Amino acid sequence: MFYHSNHPKKSLSCLRFIGLPFYNNLHTNTAQLFPNFILKPASSIPKMAVEHHPASLRNRGPIWEKLEPYFVELLSSKTERACLPLRVLEVAAGTGAHAELFAEKCHEIVAKAEPRSTPATAAGQTAMVLYQQTEKDEGMVARIFAPPPSAGFKEDGSTSTTSVAKGNVVVAEPKVLDLLQVESSSLFGSGATATTQGDDSALTSMAHPYDILFACNFTHISEWEATENFWKKVVPKTMLKEGGGSNSASVLAAGESSKVVLIYGPFRRNNAFTTESNRDFDADLRQRNPSWGYRDVEDVEKLANGAGFLMEKIHEMPANNFLLVFQRGFAGAPNDVRVKL
């Protein structure tokens, strides 16, 4: 299986990343673009000097435009219910291009919001958004450009007593999530927390369900089993309390905000390709690996329904891609707990 979020739609040039030499320094131009987050290695694994693929940089802006309303609405809902932070999980993070932008945008959202009483970490930090990235193995995790856990933490991992005005968006250290070996992935291992967060393990504990799950460009460059495991194993384990299935009474408490799953990538609609170029690319994928290829939106929707999620929207995106939005709310809760866009 091979998947990552920076896969360009018309080629497999992403494979050029494999085998690149290791370097100690990260690119300073990225840090200049995002001054609130000084980029540094997320773990002791040496970083590859890998730049984000141009397609990732082109597409992350339009993707965020569609994601932003869900972040804003759910953050507002969780603030009103005093159940912060908003917890976001990204599957197939690639080189971290999305988190790099999304974390900055989340900071802007929080900065614009009216100050409220928010939960604090063990070090006294205010945490309103937690963003966890994952990739399929340690080698790919090592390529992720991860912002530090928060502006209030020092580079050596100790806590800082300085201002935490920009420390309300916590980007956790990337973890391994192999969709073909879900149970053995480090995301679900003991102590699955951001090692650079000092004593703030409660923030990243798997005991607390995620609110938003975002996955990009993985369904067509992985086995169908990976998509099945995404819905049958990852979603229940990460978003539903006690890992409950579609019939679990403990999934969402009354009045709690709904859960949102967003999947970006190329798909077929009603077993048909939307363009001839998509048909050609699908044929190329299947020639490279017979288990790869475009998936039908309807088949993905069936898996989502099995996990208790309903299709909310299908956004048409640039370059003939789609953003599928699935949402789950509490069966007996008022309609206003769902994100209505």
Q: What is the pLDDT of residues 231-248, one digit of tens each?
A: 999 999 999 875 444 444
- 224-237 residues labelled b (16+ CB within 10 A) or e (exposed): eebbebbbbbbbbb
Domains of the chain by start residue, with CATH: 13-337 (3.40.50.150)
Backbone angles phi, psi at 169, to 5 degrees: -115, 110
Contact 267, 294 (CB under 8 A): yes
What pLDDT score was predicted for residue 8? 42
Separation of alpha carbons 115 and 96, rounded Å:
29
Contact 49, 22 (CB under 8 A): yes
Q: What is the arithmetic mean of pLDDT over 63-88?
A: 90
What pLDDT score was predicted for residue 318? 95
Note the Cα 222 to chain centre separation in Å.
Answer: 17
Q: Look up residue 5 and give its DSSP letter.
A: T
What pLDDT score was predicted for residue 221? 96
Average pLDDT of the chain, as a whole number: 73
For residues 283 and 209, which has the higher predicted lDDT (pLDDT)?
A: 283
137: pLDDT strictly greater than 60 = yes
Q: Which of 53, 70, 58 lies closest to 315 in space, CA to CA?
A: 70
DSSP string, 235-268: HHHHHSGGG--TT-TTSS-TTPPPEEEEEEE-EE
Q: Which of 119, 129, 176 lies closest to 149 in space, CA to CA?
A: 129
For residues 297 and 25, which has the higher predicted lDDT (pLDDT)?
A: 297
Cis, bond preceding 147 (omega within 30 deg of 0): no
What pLDDT score was predicted for residue 170? 87
User: Which residues pair with residue 296 across a beta bridge?
Assistant: 268
Cis, bond preceding 85 (omega within 30 deg of 0): yes
What pLDDT score was predicted for residue 53? 87
pLDDT, tens digit, for every residue of 185-223?
999 874 343 333 333 455 555 667 899 999 999 999 999
- In this structure, of 62-76, 77-91, 180-194, the range with the lowest mean pLDDT score is 180-194
pLDDT, tens digit, for every residue of 245-277?
444 433 454 455 689 999 999 999 999 999 999
Pairing, β 310-317 against β 321-328: antiparallel
What pLDDT score was predicted for residue 94? 92
Separation of alpha carbons 332 and 303, rounded Å:
23
What pLDDT score was predicted for residue 50? 59
Q: What is the arithmetic mean of pLDDT over 158-162?
A: 28
161: pLDDT strictly greater than 50 = no
SS3 breakdown of the chain: % helix, strand, coil, rounded to 5?
35, 20, 50
111: pLDDT strictly greater than 90 = no
